[in-house]
């Protein structure tokens, strides 16, 4: 059945022959009340003769439907985020945080990225104090007139980066979406520059699956390192991964883990 809409009036269409319910009109829920009426109804035959239809019924008022978190007239945001705000789901929670940087090269990663994870947006809080960002096989540098340039355009939640600044500063991220702790890392044989996806910290032995420890020949952080001994376990100056830090992970073969 076709129905034409003219202003606030529905008209037109053809009804099939029969008795009972001949047509049903569907509409999307509205934020305002809708008044449903049938007026000036006629039956039109192919011969061109119109016959009026008697319709003796009051208009029907259809109440509005407020869409709350995808549910018609639902309870709304009920999940409390870490910052005290409320959202529909944990995935909708965002956080603000800062990473402390010293002058020179800082090996960092991000445990929450905003929707705009471009280098330009991610480095915006540093202004012209930031001079370069180096990832694994990619890099970007800041030009006073042209902005950020290079092969690195977007930051990745599983990657680590060397962030180079002139003076000590804080790199602050607003409205970051926390990385899924179960995110998958895909590593190639050799040195991989990776992140740690959580805000807190975790001992290396607890963070890595047992079956991959023998495949990791070493982990290098900024000024710290660890290597795995078959009998003694993890040894060295690096004992735990920390959120916000980046790491070089050396593997003897390609592996995937979460």
- Per-residue pLDDT tens listing for the chain (258 residues): 444 444 445 555 555 555 566 555 555 545 455 565 655 565 555 555 665 555 555 566 666 666 777 777 777 777 777 667 777 877 777 889 999 999 999 999 999 999 999 999 999 999 999 999 999 999 999 999 999 999 999 999 999 999 999 999 999 999 898 998 899 999 999 999 999 999 999 999 999 988 888 899 999 999 999 999 888 889 999 999 999 999 999 999 999 998
The pLDDT assigned to 5 comes to 46
- pTM of the model as a whole: 0.68
pLDDT at 79: 77
Q: What is the pLDDT of residue 58?
A: 59
The per-residue pLDDT for 163 is 98
Residue 75 is predicted with a pLDDT of 74
What is the pLDDT, as a whole number, of residue 191? 97
User: What mean pLDDT, rounded, does the chain reach?
Assistant: 83
Q: For residues 1 and 15, is the Cβ–Cβ distance under 8 A?
A: yes
pLDDT at 86: 78
What is the model's pLDDT at position 185?
96
């Amino acid at each position: 059945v076709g129905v034409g809409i003219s202003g606030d009036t529905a008209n037109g269409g053809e009804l099939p022959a029969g008795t009972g319910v001949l047509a049903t009109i569907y509409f999307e829920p509205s934020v305002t009340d809708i008044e449903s009426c049938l007026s000036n109804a006629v039956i039109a035959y192919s011969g061109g003769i119109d016959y009026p239809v008697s319709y003796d019924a009051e208009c029907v008022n259809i109440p509005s439907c407020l869409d709350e978190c995808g549910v018609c007239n639902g309870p709304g945001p009920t999940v409390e985020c870490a910052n005290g705000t409320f959202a529909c789901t944990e995935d909708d929670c965002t956080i603000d945080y800062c990473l402390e940087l010293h002058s020179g090269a800082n090996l960092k990663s991000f445990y929450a990225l905003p929707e705009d994870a471009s280098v330009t947006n991610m480095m915006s809080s540093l202004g012209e104090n930031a001079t370069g960002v180096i990832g694994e096989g990619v890099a970007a540098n800041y030009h006073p007139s042209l902005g950020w340039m290079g092969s690195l355009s977007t930051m990745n939640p599983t990657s680590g980066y060397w962030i180079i600044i002139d003076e000590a500063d804080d790199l602050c991220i607003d409205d970051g979406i926390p990385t899924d702790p179960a995110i998958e890392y895909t590593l190639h044989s050799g040195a991989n520059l990776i992140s740690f996806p959580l805000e807190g910290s975790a001992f290396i032995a607890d963070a890595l699956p047992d079956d991959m420890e023998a495949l990791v020949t070493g982990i290098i952080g900024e000024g710290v390192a660890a290597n795995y001994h078959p009998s003694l376990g993890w040894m060295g100056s690096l004992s735990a991964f920390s959120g916000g830090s980046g790491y070089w992970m050396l593997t003897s073969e390609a592996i995937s883990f979460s």
